[in-house]
Structure 1
Amino acid sequence: MIALLQKLSLTARLSLLFTTLSCAVLLALGWFIGASIEKHFEEQDHHALSGKLELAQHIIERVNTAQDVANLSDQLSDALVGHHDLAIIVQDTKGKVLLNSSQIQFPETYLHPRTNQPQHEIFSWTQDGQTYRGLVSIYATKNPELPSITVGIATDIAHHLDFMRNFMRSLWLFVFVAALFTGALSWVAASRGLRPLRAMRDRASSVTANKLDQRLSLEAVPPELADLAHSLNQMLERLEEAFQRLSDFSSDLAHELRTPISNLMTQTQVSLSQARDASSYREILESNAEEYSRLARMIADMLFLAKAENGLSLVNREQVNLMQEVQNLFEFYEALAEEKQIRLRLQCQDDQAASTKSTSEQFTLSGDRLMLRRALSNILSNALRHTAKGQEITVYIEADPNFLTMRICNPGPSIPEQHIHRLFERFYRADHARQHADGEGSGLGLAIVQAIVLGHQGTISVRSQDDLTCFTLQLPRTTIA
């Protein structure tokens, strides 16, 4: 049954649910009405029979002699003239029948009631296919020496039962027709109510890789589906952005690979165009080796970023002193900085510690030394490429009990605001003014920096204004593997 319901459409499920609930309500209402009518008939019969018992009681209470007892049947018969639907039986406590107006057999349990049986309790019984409802009561005569008189009075309720049968038959027929009608209305209502979902389905089915700009109209859906439509629109925006980035990445990758491959092909074709001496071939091979090295670095960087997308694993975790790492990188780039007449300055919370190259744990965190060195090296090399001669690159390090914050600032042309959020994309460059003339770098450096920082559960941001660009790295002291 459950498997069958799961195969039904949502419209069919809602229609079935509404129809079932409607039938349950109608059946409960019909049962209540039938019980109420039955109760009304019972009270009506009880009132009529009680009235006749009161009349019999009035006559019996005047009986004083045995002759009055003998005449009692005539008096009660006269009192019931015109009530052909009533039957009466009168007998004394010894069981002698004084009057029996019909062939109805009263139940003995009621003619001889128990001492704890309540008086004037209406009861029903069936005899020869007929159903009767009656009352029995015992009355004392005026003379205490005479036995008490038991009076039973009953009425045939066949007309009541016929009415109830016809009523219930009509009620069930009405419930059946109402169920069909409700089911049809439920189907129409559910179909109309689910029309916005079908519209959302049609709009979603029109979305393809080439048409990701489709959006669902929030004004055309009911409030209950507005959140769903909004979530779908956000998903489409993310998909469109992801596809656009993938498309840009493919184009940039093809562009970056085309240059070294074209150089290799051109140099090879030129070298093969005519005979050359050994020194010329050596020069060509050395030039080709440089292009191969560039390709190898680019491929290695792309493999690193591919692994980082699936969660960068810190294999070699150890205690790393950031201040010491920055000083080591300053020594590595010292020759290049002197060539470009650029000063490198490290500023920590404790200037004295910086000047003495302290190895205290103040600027120490848990992480992968090689990865962190690579990230810092990428940012410093990027800063050296874009800093003019005679300027200064400053590295600020701040420490607190939970985080180490590093800011690497270099003067130079400000990056437009619209490019800031895309600096960490692969192969993305803000503008041609910030690209190095000698072609160094593949556009993957900042993407690698971001992957390493995120792998250490840190954050990275960039701010560029007033001809000053600052990269801010915040790294937790303890990195969860």
Structure 2
Amino acid sequence: MIARLPMTLTGKLASLYAIATLIILACVGTYLYRALASQLAARDDHELVEKIEQFRHILLETPDSAAIIKDKHRFIDAAMGHHGLIVMLVDVNGQTLMKNHDAAGALTPSQIVPIGQEPHPRLIWNWEYASGKTARTIVAWAKLDKAAEPVKVVVGRTASERTQLLADYLQEVLAAMIGASVLAALLGYLAVRRALRPLKIIASQAHSITAQHLERRLDAHLAPPEMQTLVASFNAVLDRLQDSFQRLSQFSADLAHDLRTPLYNLTMQTQVALSQPRSNEEYIALFSSSLEEYERLSRMVESMLFLARADNAQVALSVQALNAFNELQRIADYFEGIAEDAKVKITVDGQGTIAADPALFRRAVSNLVANAIRFTPAGNTVRLYLERGSTSNVIGVANPGSGIEQAHLARIFDRFYRADQSRSRSGSSTGLGLAIVDSIMKLHGGKVEVESVLNGMTTFRLRFPVKPPS
């Protein structure tokens, strides 16, 4: 079976343009054809009325029936000059006195115009003057000059001339329609091809966009107004794709760097330990150090798996109405020992409920509290609080410290990004804590915000919607 090749857009539009032109011309041609046929019929009927009036006038100057038979050419000459005209003069006895055509059809008119009444086109009827042939005919009584008996005048006109004229006109109309449709298809093809030229340029631009040239964009000025929105949307997709690609590249680089450090430490420690015999105490110290590195790798892998599941919406939420004060106090109690070691206090304020998944809520707030304790100078306080709103409830974690520079605020939720590079090698941090907080808030249909003043307060706000997503 031969597969059909798809028609190009240019060909489709040109074909549709030609078909539309053909339909319009057919409608116009049909209207003009009918109008011409109606006008020709009206003209013929008007000539029949005039002609029968002419013969009535001639018969008024004719003394009797014998004069008609004797001078037939007078009446035949009056009928000349009109193609397809049938004229017959019949006396009251049905005898034909004169005729200019071999019409053999039975003359049974529906109406005969009486003497003294003017003929009218509505009195014209179709007479079958021969087998299968008809003529528009009018019949009237005419008065002779001296004879008492009138004469029946029959004037008809065959449709042959009008039919031939209409046939010729129809052929011309059909030829014009076909020619105009072909011309419309050709002009439509050229016009569409010219109109689609900017799209070909845009397609060429799109073809040049590769992974190595994601910074390139489509030129919206080349697109027609109807497609500028599409081009702008495509450019927006490229912006997001470039940003995601850059983030992925940075993530891969950061991941390799963070995995390399513990793996390098494990390798070096093992090589040193195997270089010569060691005491039990030295092996125990080696195993303890290796265990820390393994735990760090385990936390990193666990965090990466959580982020992967969150990105693909594979984390099932179990949203409940949580007592915010009790939850924050539980988290504060958990970090009490760490806070005492850092000589930092934790306070909890606010009453109300939060619609959230309990486990994810605690994980998000715990990540923020752990960071707050780490960066809070000794002798200061980390504050946990609740702010209630009409559309969202806010959990805040605020702490004093050196603060975060504005250049880092937009990226601190990126994976493996650390604003404080001096702590990038800290074994207690994987660089994924804030990224996990951001993912947890997106799962809840909320968002995380940060506000920081250098050498002042740094505040993270978790906005949980009052009506969480189903």
Q: In 2, distance between residues paired with 1:194 and 1:447?
A: 46
Is 306-315 or 196-205 further displaced after alignment?
A: 306-315
Deviation at 1:378, TM superposition (A): 0.2
Q: 1:287 to 1:151 in 2, by over 3 A?
A: same
Is 104-113 or 323-332 further displaced after alignment?
A: 104-113
Deviation at 1:71, TM superposition (A): 4.1
Matched, 1:78 2:74: yes
Deviation at 1:140, TM superposition (A): 6.4
Deviation at 1:75, TM superposition (A): 7.5
Matched, 1:399 2:388: yes
- 1:357 maps to none
Q: In 1, distance between residues paired with 2:43 and 2:281?
A: 129
Deviation at 1:308, TM superposition (A): 0.8
Contact kept? 1:345, 1:392, Cα under 8 Å: yes
Q: In 1, distance between residues paired with 2:215 and 2:382?
A: 43
Q: 1:140 to 1:160 in 2, by over 3 A?
A: closer
Q: 1:106 to 1:416 in 2, by over 3 A?
A: farther
* Corresponding residue to 1:364 among 332, 338, 353: 353
Contact kept? 1:314, 1:455, Cα under 8 Å: no
Is 88-97 or 378-387 further displaced after alignment?
A: 88-97
AA aligned to 1:460 is: V
- 2:31 maps to 32
TM-score, structure 2 length as denominator? 0.86
- 1:171 maps to 173
Matched, 1:455 2:457: no
Deviation at 1:92, TM superposition (A): 4.8
Provide the secondary structure at the position in 1 that maps to 2:252. helix
Q: In 1, distance between residues paired with 2:150 and 2:432?
A: 117
Q: In 1, distance between residues paired with 2:215 and 2:297?
A: 36
For structure 1, which runs of at least 5 residues remain unmatched after alignment? 349-361
Deviation at 1:410, TM superposition (A): 1.6
Contact kept? 1:397, 1:405, Cα under 8 Å: yes
- 1:409 maps to 398
Q: In 1, distance between residues paired with 2:161 and 2:57?
A: 30
Provide the secondary structure at the position in 2 that maps to 1:254. helix
Q: In 2, distance between residues paired with 1:378 and 1:138?
A: 115
- 2:103 maps to 104
Superposed, 1:64-463 pairs within 5 Å as 68-71=64-67, 78-84=74-80, 85=82, 86-92=85-91, 95-106=94-105, 108-110=107-109, 119-121=122-124, 123=126, 127=130, 133-139=135-141, 141=143, 149-155=151-157, 158-314=160-316, 316-348=318-350, 363-400=352-389, 403-432=392-421, 435=423, 438-463=426-451
Deviation digits for residues 105-134 of structure 1, max 9, x if unmatched? 35634477799x9843264768589x7743
Q: 1:342 to 1:114 in 2, by over 3 A?
A: farther
Deviation digits for residues 338-380 of structure 1, max 9, x if unmatched? 33332322222xxxxxxxxxxxxx5223432222111110001
Q: In 2, distance between residues paired with 1:237 and 1:447?
A: 21
Provide the secondary structure at the position in 2 that maps to 1:7. coil
AA aligned to 2:365 is: L
Deviation at 1:97, TM superposition (A): 2.9
Provide the secondary structure at the position in 2 that maps to 1:219. helix
- 2:55 maps to 56
Provide the secondary structure at the position in 2 that maps to 1:136. strand
Is 436-445 or 44-53 further displaced after alignment?
A: 436-445
Deviation at 1:255, TM superposition (A): 0.6
Identity %: 31
Provide the secondary structure at the position in 1 that maps to 2:213. coil
